[in-house]
Amino acid sequence: MSGPLPTVHVMTVATSVAAEVAMDVTVRTSDLAEAAGNVVRLLPPRLLDPVLAGLLVRAEPDGLVLAGTDRDRAVRLRRDATTRLAGAALVPARPLAATARALDAPDVRLVVEGSRLAVRTPGARFALPLLDLDAHPGVPEPPEVVGRVPGSLLAAAALPVAGAASRDDTVPAFTGLRIRAEGERLVLVATDRYRMAVASLSWEPVRGGLDVLLPSALVAEVARQVSAASTVEVRRTGSGADRVAVSWSGTTVACGVLDSPFPDESRYLPSTVDCEVLVDADRLAAAVRRVAPYAGPFSSVRLEVGDDALRVQGSDPASGEAEETVPATVDGDPVARVFRARYLGEALSAFSGSAVRLGMRGVHQASRITAAEPAANGVDLRYVVMPIRPR
Amino acid sequence: MSGPLPTVHVMTVATSVAAEVAMDVTVRTSDLAEAAGNVVRLLPPRLLDPVLAGLLVRAEPDGLVLAGTDRDRAVRLRRDATTRLAGAALVPARPLAATARALDAPDVRLVVEGSRLAVRTPGARFALPLLDLDAHPGVPEPPEVVGRVPGSLLAAAALPVAGAASRDDTVPAFTGLRIRAEGERLVLVATDRYRMAVASLSWEPVRGGLDVLLPSALVAEVARQVSAASTVEVRRTGSGADRVAVSWSGTTVACGVLDSPFPDESRYLPSTVDCEVLVDADRLAAAVRRVAPYAGPFSSVRLEVGDDALRVQGSDPASGEAEETVPATVDGDPVARVFRARYLGEALSAFSGSAVRLGMRGVHQASRITAAEPAANGVDLRYVVMPIRPR
């Protein structure tokens, strides 16, 4: 024995039920479609194990629970339902989600009939094969709450930050999004090494600390789903913090933390700059978008600071040259820096609707983009973009 | 000499201009964006010859002409413009279209500046390299009018017919759409050998006959662009009919005809059927769409005629089984036929908003879909779909 076995709280699935599975429950079609679609979007798209590709459908006396797991991520959603016969079944997740989405009847009935889960509406029956419920690992109970945050704020902070993470799975640390509690602020950070986004927002700490690295694609999907929730609870396992979960409006999503070193963002956030330009984010983004087809093989646009203006320039052997002038307020030495068009565009889109301060430093030092005025929702977003070598 | 050389009327480009190209014209940005986009969509996407990938931009005293050709297809559009200096230039087509589309200034000025065509708006300049105007083959004058048809009717007939054509370029005949004049009717036919669509609409013949096979993808793009035009003129070269053109609202599109044998559609249009089912096209299409995820590896759905109903059935080893019942009026022997889900869905979508008569015959004979009532616009559409071998 190398130590005590970890305690895993498993969603109770009485094994005696498996021999004679039964269920009869009616749910609003829109609820089922939204819930099944959300589970599918929160779990990895391709799971070879058919049992893990299954959706656990559980009719309880007071509602319907959908759950799924790939052994790392675990998702559970509860929706109101009218249960005639409580029970559980495991069925292929994607066909159920596709069927629920395509239905136009207002309500749908889920009934276990022999070796099938029948999805019934007036005039139609879709019969999904029952998978082996006993072989399913179950979905663990969520760990304890460490703090709470409004869904709209979490969405506003997490979506732009997740956009700065890498999609390259060969360097796992940079696919992660770091979430750290600092007293009554929650700090979110992601970087792909060429740019970094840092957001901080107020939250309500409950107990314990939080400093974890999570898959940024999962955080982005959660952010899209929580935006209408008044409260999102953030949870983590006892001391080791090896699992994190978030809960809102009957949904719980849990996953293991990424175990990778992550840079300290404060080293990359410049406190002083050589030149600061105050400019409208959308006007500058539109200019970058128009110049981008002329940005050449390395997709590089040049920003040149002039008197009361920022000039956006591109040059390409085939397309020709482009230059657009955007009105700006300039403070400091006029400089010129070259950026990748996409990184600049994505950074600016995070500040859409507001004016930004673009702070530039040396040729090999990151430039900083911040909102000119504090955001009304209190989310403080800072973006850092590395210039590329001038042409 | 094997005969007289063919006469090609080329858009006049004075060669003396090439040495000192000049142009200065102002046009509405939305007009330029729409016109340049239309030219790009009407020409093949990848042209290796940079001269043929160029767009001929010609400022005339009373307007702006955009033209392009790949030596087979030729496109010419005219838009209102304010010309300060008449002239012509050849520039890369796609960057011009992308730039015009991205601009938000109301007007745009095109000026030849040295070796560039400058696209200017207040605060922005996009400079496209001038290509060799002398090397461009020019765009032929359109041939003579053989008849006229309203744009909305041509669009209503050509789009569903083009959808029945093959996308497989290795069998060119089945990528074609046949257009044939029969007195005061125009008949459009396309087939990929598994289904066939035939539309007929009234038109105004002017002179000469018409029976040509054209690339269906080009016909579909033309159909999308003509839908708002009150009159579309159909043209063809003198006797050989080796080139066809259509003109509407300042636009002319010409192309060579496909020289392939094409089946006589009357052989495939059944006059009698074993069983005819009257059913709502959208209800049946929705049922087919819902059953499709259960249609199995060959994507086959079964239609079973019952009393006052059509049952749509699917079965798949992984997803399970589906059956949906659609109310129908049945006339004849109850039969069952298996169809590819996509073909059935596309056929029904051509009749969206109306009831259809589905006429079924033998297992190896094509089934027929026609509108239950004549269409208000007088376009008569008949669709034929081959059943597949029953499972």
| Nearest Cα residue in chain A from B283 | A104
Query: Do B307 and B236 belong together in one domain?
Result: no
Q: Which two tokens stand for residue B32?
A: 């330029």
What residues of A are in contact with residue B123 (Cβ under 8 Å)?
324-326
Query: Do B91 and B161 belong together in one domain?
Result: no
Q: Do residue B128 and residue A320 have CB atoms under 8 angstroms apart?
A: yes
CATH number at residue A150: 3.10.150.10
Domain boundary (B264, B291, B320) is at B264
Q: How far is the alpha carbon of A325 from chain B, nearest alpha carbon, in Å?
A: 5
Query: Do B374 and B276 belong together in one domain?
Result: yes
B353 found inside a domain: yes
Looking at residue B390, what is its pLDDT?
A: 64
Question: Dihedrals φ, ψ of B384, to 5°?
Answer: -125, 130
What residues of A are in contact with residue B319 (Cβ under 8 Å)?
92, 95, 128-129
Q: Which residues of chain B have pLDDT under 70?
A: 1-20, 238-241, 390-391
| Nearest Cα residue in chain A from B126 | A322
What residues of B are in contact with residue A95 (Cβ under 8 Å)?
293-294, 318-320
Which of A49, A101, A290 has the most B C-beta neighbours within 10 Å, making it the best mutation to test the interface with B?
A290
Query: Do A128 and A189 belong together in one domain?
Result: no
Single pTM value for the model: 0.87
CA-based torsion, B15, B17, B20, B21: positive or negative: negative
Q: Do residue B125 and residue A293 have CB atoms under 8 angstroms apart?
A: no
Query: Nearest Cβ partner of B320 from A129, A321, A323?
Result: A129
Q: How far is the alpha carbon of B120 from chain A, nearest alpha carbon, in Å?
A: 10
Query: Nearest Cβ partner of A103 from B99, B290, B323?
Result: B290
Query: Nearest Cβ partner of A92 from B102, B104, B318?
Result: B318
Of the two residues A313 and A237, the one the predictor is more confident about is A313
Asked if A38 contacts A106 with a C-beta cutoff of 8 angstroms, the reply is no
Q: How far is the alpha carbon of B124 from chain A, nearest alpha carbon, in Å?
A: 4
Looking at residue A378, what is its pLDDT?
A: 94
What's the pLDDT tens digit per position in B217-230?
Answer: 999 999 999 999 99
Looking at residue B15, what is its pLDDT?
A: 40
Query: Nearest Cβ partner of B322 from A127, A325, A326?
Result: A127
Asked if A178 contacts A219 with a C-beta cutoff of 8 angstroms, the reply is no
Query: Do B225 and B313 belong together in one domain?
Result: no
Q: Which residues of B touch A (CB under 8 A)?
A: 92, 95, 98-99, 102-104, 116, 123-129, 286-287, 289-290, 293-294, 318-326
Candidates B41, B357, B15; CA nearest to B217 is B41
What residues of A are in contact with residue B104 (Cβ under 8 Å)?
286
What residues of A are in contact with residue B293 (Cβ under 8 Å)?
95, 98-99, 102
Q: How far is the alpha carbon of B30 from chain A, nearest alpha carbon, in Å?
A: 15
> How far is the C-alpha of A155 from the C-alpha of A158, rounded, in Å?
5
> How far is the C-alpha of A299 from the C-alpha of B218, rounded, in Å?
33
Looking at residue B18, what is its pLDDT?
A: 44
What's the pLDDT tens digit per position in A194-228?
Answer: 999 999 999 999 998 899 999 999 999 999 999 99
Strand partners of residue A277: A330, A358
Q: Which two tokens stand for residue A39?
A: 């589970």
Asked if B232 contacts B219 with a C-beta cutoff of 8 angstroms, the reply is no
Q: How far is the alpha carbon of A148 from chain B, nearest alpha carbon, in Å?
A: 40
Asked if A248 contacts A151 with a C-beta cutoff of 8 angstroms, the reply is yes
Looking at residue A280, what is its pLDDT?
A: 98
Of the two residues A371 and B269, the one the predictor is more confident about is A371
Looking at residue B238, what is its pLDDT?
A: 64
Query: Do B239 and B154 belong together in one domain?
Result: yes
A104 found inside a domain: yes
Q: How far is the alpha carbon of B363 from chain A, nearest alpha carbon, in Å?
A: 26
A20 found inside a domain: yes
> How far is the C-alpha of A80 from the C-alpha of A74, rounded, in Å?
21
Work out the percent of chain A whose per-residue pLDDT is above 70. Answer: 93
A6 found inside a domain: no
| Nearest Cα residue in chain B from A315 | B127
Domain boundary (B135, B155, B190) is at B135
User: B316-340 b/e with 16+ CB inside 10 Å = b?
Assistant: beebbbbbbbbebebeeeebbbbbb
What residues of A are in contact with residue B296 (Cβ under 8 Å)?
none
Q: Do residue A320 and residue B127 have CB atoms under 8 angstroms apart?
A: yes
Residue A19 confidence (pLDDT) above 60: no
Query: Do B334 and B223 belong together in one domain?
Result: no
Burial of A271: CB neighbours in 10 Å, binned 0-12, 13-18, 19+: exposed
What residues of B are in contact with residue A102 (Cβ under 8 Å)?
286, 289-290, 293
Query: Do B168 and B246 belong together in one domain?
Result: yes
Looking at residue B171, what is its pLDDT?
A: 84
Using alpha carbons only, what angle is made at residue A282 by residues A352 and B104, rounded to the nearest 5 degrees? 140
Which of A131, A319, A324 has the most B C-beta neighbours within 10 Å, making it the best mutation to test the interface with B?
A319
Q: Do residue B95 and residue A321 have CB atoms under 8 angstroms apart?
A: no
| Nearest Cα residue in chain A from B123 | A325
Query: Do B274 and B258 belong together in one domain?
Result: no
What's the pLDDT tens digit per position in B258-278?
Answer: 988 888 888 888 888 999 999
Average pLDDT over residues A287-292: 96
Residue A4 confidence (pLDDT) above 70: no
Query: Do A54 and A94 belong together in one domain?
Result: yes
Q: Which residues of A touch B (CB under 8 A)?
A: 92, 95, 98-99, 102-104, 116, 123-129, 286-287, 289-290, 293-294, 318-326
Domain range enclosing A346: 269-385
What is the number of other CB atoms lying within 10 angstroms of the CB of residue A312? 27
Q: Place A5 in a pLDDT band, splitting at 50, 70 and 90.
A: very low
Asked if A166 contacts A205 with a C-beta cutoff of 8 angstroms, the reply is no
A391 found inside a domain: no
Domain boundary (A199, A233, A265) is at A265
Candidates B116, B110, B126, B2; CA nearest to B57 is B110
Q: How far is the alpha carbon of B24 from chain A, nearest alpha carbon, in Å?
A: 18
Question: Dihedrals φ, ψ of A285, to 5°?
Answer: -60, -40
What is the number of other CB atoms lying within 10 angstroms of the CB of residue B178? 24
Q: How far is the alpha carbon of A200 from chain B, nearest alpha carbon, in Å?
A: 34
Q: Do residue B102 and residue A286 have CB atoms under 8 angstroms apart?
A: yes
Q: Do residue A293 and residue B324 have CB atoms under 8 angstroms apart?
A: no
What residues of B are in contact with residue A99 (Cβ under 8 Å)?
290, 293, 322
Query: Do A189 and A159 belong together in one domain?
Result: yes
Work out the percent of chain A whose per-residue pLDDT is above 90. Answer: 77
Using alpha carbons only, what angle is made at residue A48 by residues A43 and A53, rounded to the nearest 5 degrees? 45
Query: Nearest Cβ partner of B98 from A287, A293, A325?
Result: A293
B390 found inside a domain: no
Q: Do residue B103 and residue A322 have CB atoms under 8 angstroms apart?
A: no
Question: Dihedrals φ, ψ of A210, to 5°?
Answer: -155, 125
> How far is the C-alpha of B222 from the C-alpha of B151, rounded, in Å?
10
> How far is the C-alpha of A359 from the C-alpha of A304, rounded, in Å?
13
Alpha helices by DSSP H, A321-362: 341-349
Q: Do residue B129 and residue A320 have CB atoms under 8 angstroms apart?
A: yes
Asked if A25 contacts A110 with a C-beta cutoff of 8 angstroms, the reply is yes
| Nearest Cα residue in chain B from A126 | B322
Q: How far is CA B7 from CA A2, A292, B4, B257, B302, in A?
A: 92, 44, 9, 18, 56
Query: Nearest Cβ partner of B126 from A126, A322, A325?
Result: A322
Looking at residue A17, what is its pLDDT?
A: 42
Q: How far is the alpha carbon of B251 from chain A, nearest alpha carbon, in Å?
A: 26
Work out the percent of chain B whose per-residue pLDDT is above 90. Answer: 77
CB pairs under 8 A between A and B: 89
Looking at residue A1, what is its pLDDT?
A: 35
What's the pLDDT tens digit per position in A248-282?
Answer: 999 999 999 998 888 888 888 888 899 999 999 99
B308 found inside a domain: yes
What residues of B are in contact with residue A116 (Cβ under 8 Å)?
320-321
Looking at residue A238, what is its pLDDT?
A: 64
Residue B84, SS3 per DSSP: strand
Angle between helices A281-291 and A341-349 (to 10 degrees): 150
What residues of B are in contact with residue A286 (Cβ under 8 Å)?
102, 104
Question: Dihedrals φ, ψ of B285, to 5°?
Answer: -65, -40
CB-based contacts of B36, cutoff 8 Å, min separation 6: B55, B66, B93, B96, B97, B100, B101
| Nearest Cα residue in chain A from B318 | A129
A1 found inside a domain: no
How many domains in chain A?
3
Q: Do residue B123 and residue A319 have CB atoms under 8 angstroms apart?
A: no
Query: Do A291 and A343 belong together in one domain?
Result: yes
